[in-house]
Structure 1
Amino acid sequence: MYQRILVPTDGSALSKKAVNSAIALAKLCNAELVALKVVPRYPQSYFEGGIALAPAEVKQVEKTWGDAGQAVVDAVKKTAAAKGIEAKAVVVRSDVVSDAILAAAKKHQCDLVVMASHGRKGIKRLLLGSETQHVLTHAQIPVLILK
C-alpha cells in the first residue's frame, strides 16, 4: 500500500504517539520510514531576536539545535530498526515547519505523512496556528493525523 512514510517529530509525547503509529504502519505495509525533525534557524534581525549574538555564537546555537534534532530522529531510526523497519533520520533547517515537512515529503518521495496534532480549536488555533492544518491542506499525498 505505502512504500515510504514520512513522520515529522519534535520528540514530544504527542509526536511519539505518531512515531509509534508510523512504525506500526510501516511494518504492516513493509514500507520505509523517514523520520524528520525541523530545526529553526536562529533569528538574525533586531526585531526577531532580543539579543544580538556574535556570528560564532549563532553557529554554536544552531549546532546545538541541530545536534538535539539529530538525536531525536536517530532515536526514531533506532526504534524502527529494532522492529525490522528501514528508516532514514533527516534533520532540516527551516523557519516554516509545515513547508519543510511538505518539501521533505516531496524530496524523499513519500506517499504518506503521519503526524500528530494538538487539536486546538477557536482562538488558540487562530493565535497559535497549526502546522498540521497547513500540511493537511497543502499536501499532494495522504496525511494521517493523530491526536
Structure 2
Amino acid sequence: MLVALREIRTFEDEILRKKSKAVAKVDDKIRQLLEDMAETMYHTPNGGGLAACQVGILRRLVVADMGEGLLKLVNPEITEQEGEQTVIEGCLSYPGVWGKLIRPYRVVVRALNEKGEQITIEAVGDLAKCLCHEIDHLEGIIFTDKVIEYVKAE
C-alpha cells in the first residue's frame, strides 16, 4: 500500500469548522485514507492524533497514538465520560498555540475499526484527552473554543 503524506489544514481554514459526515462503508479507500492520516500524523512534530477534516476530508475518521499503539477509528463517538482533568493541549492545525483546558478523565468510545468491526475503547488520562480533542474536530469544534488560559509551549 503506497502512503501519501497529506497537507494539514491550519488556522482559519473553514473546513476545520464544518461537521464531518459519517462513513457509510469501510472499504479500501477508507483504509488508505486512515493509513495516509497515520503517516501524516507521525511525520508532524508533536502529532498524537489527527482527524480527517484536518487533511481536508469531511468524514468521521480519526487516528491517534499516545504511545500505546496506533488507533484507526471510523465514526467514533463518546458513549461515556467521567471525572475531569486539567490538561495542556496543542493541535497540528494550530501550530505554536497551546492552552489549558478541562477534559474528562475517562471516556468510553465506540467506533468501527479499519476492518469495519465494532470496537469499544476505554481511555483515561492522555488518551482520553486526545480522543476528546479529535472527536471534537469531527463536530467542527477546535480546542481553542475550550481554552481557559493560553500557555507557552513546553
Q: TM-score, normalised by structure 2?
A: 0.28
Q: Looking at secondary structure, tell me which structure has more strand per residue.
A: 2
Q: Select the structure with the greater relative contact order (CA < 8 A; seq sep ≥ 6).
A: 1
